[in-house]
Structure 1
Amino acid sequence: MTPATMIEQAFAPAAAAIDSGNIPCAVLGVVTANGERAVHWAGHAQIEPVHELVSRETWFDLASLTKVIFTTARILHFVEAGRIALDDPLVTVIPDLRQYDLNAAERRLTFRQCLAHNTHLPAVEPLYTYGQDPGTLRAFILQRVWQPGPPVYSDINFMLLGIAIERITGQALIDQPLPERFSFRPDPKLCAATEKDTWRGRIVRGEVHDENAFALGGASGHAGLFGTIDGVLDFALSLLDGSALSPESIRAIRTRESEKRTVGWEGFYPGWHGGDACSPETIGHTGFTGTGLWIDFERGLAWSLLTNRVHPSRHKDSGILNLRRATGERAVALFDQHGRLSAT
């Protein structure tokens, strides 16, 4: 079996989803620890108002992959540089967090807790409905009396981390330096379209789909990053080969902070989006727009499935959970059978 045939077989569930109209397009990429990679793609980057084919060079709104590719990695780099410690409270760099109540629970939140979604903060809040002034919305996030609740996967955690990055660097997130093939300001003509947004009154393309990130100026700690499949695979390879982070940081993203969460990432559990064929040493993350990345450290294998499942509307059943699981299980099975999965 040729590498091209193997990646095509791994892509079969995505091809079926495109043919059935569940998603407009998909790009699947796989990379191994020794640098072999395979990429396959099909479908349309845009179907409204006109049809445009997807390609290997198409830029996708990575949505919550921003949390791991940008925010988590950047925070860990600050830890490695001695600028902060994971168990430092956020007020170390955001002293005005809940500044009118020095006993507020938010003032005790640590970087580790926010990265691992181990806080009392809610999953999400429609901040964009309060206005679109980025400075005022940041102040609202910092001074809001957040209602306590059990730990949940929370965008608010990463909004706070994004503000922390801005405070440490003195630079807005949208202006932060990024690796090649990533951007907070992509060329819209190169991007896959996302939703026909009733709030903005247009098809969203080349601007962040997430309303809160848009209102915060186009980039936030939880969303706003765009990238190509090869950019995502480059990042995955840098974790597999240890070049992106220190051994201590790699250990942190692989070590459980809770049943399902590590520092920044989700760890393997039965029924998760990455599929049940993953080894227990697999971490992953998904994005609302239809993106995902999984890294199996035991196998030395990573794969990313990028789709624009919310185009032209999020209000349909795209079957994304089953698609992700089937894709991951096929990619792992083919790797186990053949020991390689690469094609140019």
Structure 2
Amino acid sequence: MSFQAAWAVADAAVNEGRIPGAVLGVVNGQGRHVAWAGSAALVPDPAPVTRDTIFDLASLTKPVFTTERILSHAHAGRLDLDAPLTSVIPDFRQYNAECWERATTFRDCLGHRTHFPAVAPIYTHGHDPATLRAFVLQREWPRVENPVYSDINFILLGIALERVEGCLVHDMDPGPGFTFTPPPEACAATEACTWRGRVMRGEVHDENCYALQGTGHAGLFGTADALLNFGEALLGRGPDLTCEALSDQRTHGWEIRFPNWSGGQKCGPKTIGHTGFTGTGLWVDHAAGQVWTLLTNRVHPSRHAETRIATLRQEVGDALYGT
């Protein structure tokens, strides 16, 4: 393991101005290593990154929060992964009993095996979260021919969690070290949002999650150490459904190593990982007993910049395993 080599790659991206700030954390047989550099915010008020900077984890919400909670309910018998979502959300597309959406199962959503589109601007259809949830459930969704990675899958899983637990996602306990409502001054800033008219700091970057006031696909905030603790817990319980392949690229809620994936090519073939749009990522190599997270605020102050984040993640992952 070469933590210093991996950190040199991330540090260079900060020094070159490609990303404002970064935190790299690794846990393995040699212990825990964390390094950080750069800015948590550039505008409107500059602030440095620290080890304790809280990041908007974006789509890491999918595996770290939603997948864990869905699998926990399945283990307890409160839902069946191979049952349709309608077993918990009977009113889903209730005006067309024969539609394809009503046949979608929990496992389909976890593995992105559905025919929902990748994303949709749900937030442009109103301001009331309850009405937007109704829109998600009753919309006649365009059916994509080949399954794609889709936020809609996990928005629906979030609604299912709300039905099972009897409260909104935003009111659920996200687990040790994580939060849905962080103190803004402790957070890395994300985008200067044209829709909301301000820099997002301590408020979720994802527009749909913001409009729905909590969803299953985004909204989780946390630190590098919180993610390392979570990854260590995954190592401790050993391979399970989060490692069981549902396709050549995906498990239940996670990706598994495939050519050109985010974690590089030097990790074990059963390594699982996931990224977040804001510039975050977490990877767990059960065979090597290694967890690593790379947190950046690459969308600050705009997503419309060339940060080469995909290459950065791969180079960091490969550097961790040496030559």
TM-score bracket, shorter-length normalisation: over 0.9
Matches within 5 A, 1:1-344: 6-32=2-28, 36-149=31-144, 150-217=146-213, 219-242=214-237, 250-333=239-322
Contact 1:7–1:40 (CA<8 Å) still a contact in 2?
A: no
Code of the residue aligned with 2:202 in structure 1: it is G
Contact 1:60–1:308 (CA<8 Å) still a contact in 2?
A: yes
Contact 1:45–1:58 (CA<8 Å) still a contact in 2?
A: yes
**Offset at 1:333?**
2.2
In the alignment, the residues of structure 2 paired with residue 55 and residue 274 of structure 1 have an alpha-carbon distance, to the nearest angstrom, of 24
Q: What SS class does the counterpart of residue 257 from structure 1 fall into? A: coil
Q: What SS class does the counterpart of residue 232 from structure 2 fall into? A: helix
In the alignment, the residues of structure 2 paired with residue 294 and residue 107 of structure 1 have an alpha-carbon distance, to the nearest angstrom, of 33
Structural RMSD (CA): 1.3
Contact 1:274–1:284 (CA<8 Å) still a contact in 2?
A: yes
Q: What SS class does the counterpart of residue 66 from structure 2 fall into? A: helix
TM superposition score normalised by structure 1: 0.91
**Offset at 1:116?**
0.2
Contact 1:44–1:51 (CA<8 Å) still a contact in 2?
A: yes
Code of the residue aligned with 1:184 in structure 2: it is F
In the alignment, the residues of structure 2 paired with residue 48 and residue 7 of structure 1 have an alpha-carbon distance, to the nearest angstrom, of 31
Q: What SS class does the counterpart of residue 160 from structure 2 fall into? A: helix
In the alignment, the residues of structure 2 paired with residue 195 and residue 332 of structure 1 have an alpha-carbon distance, to the nearest angstrom, of 33
Show CA shifts across 1:153-191 (max 9, x none).
Answer: 000000000000000000110010122210001111100
In the alignment, the residues of structure 2 paired with residue 104 and residue 114 of structure 1 have an alpha-carbon distance, to the nearest angstrom, of 16
In the alignment, the residues of structure 2 paired with residue 317 and residue 332 of structure 1 have an alpha-carbon distance, to the nearest angstrom, of 26
In the alignment, the residues of structure 2 paired with residue 35 and residue 199 of structure 1 have an alpha-carbon distance, to the nearest angstrom, of 46
Across the two proteins, how many residue pairs are aligned to each other?
Answer: 322
TM superposition score normalised by structure 2: 0.97
Structure 2: gaps spanning 5 or more residues? none
Q: What SS class does the counterpart of residue 312 from structure 2 fall into? A: helix
Contact 1:115–1:263 (CA<8 Å) still a contact in 2?
A: yes
Q: 1:75 to 1:269 in 2, by over 3 A?
A: same
Contact 1:89–1:107 (CA<8 Å) still a contact in 2?
A: yes
Structure 1 runs of 4+ with >2 Å offset: 6-9
Structure 1: gaps spanning 5 or more residues? 335-344
Code of the residue aligned with 1:129 in structure 2: it is T
In the alignment, the residues of structure 1 paired with residue 183 and residue 7 of structure 2 have an alpha-carbon distance, to the nearest angstrom, of 27
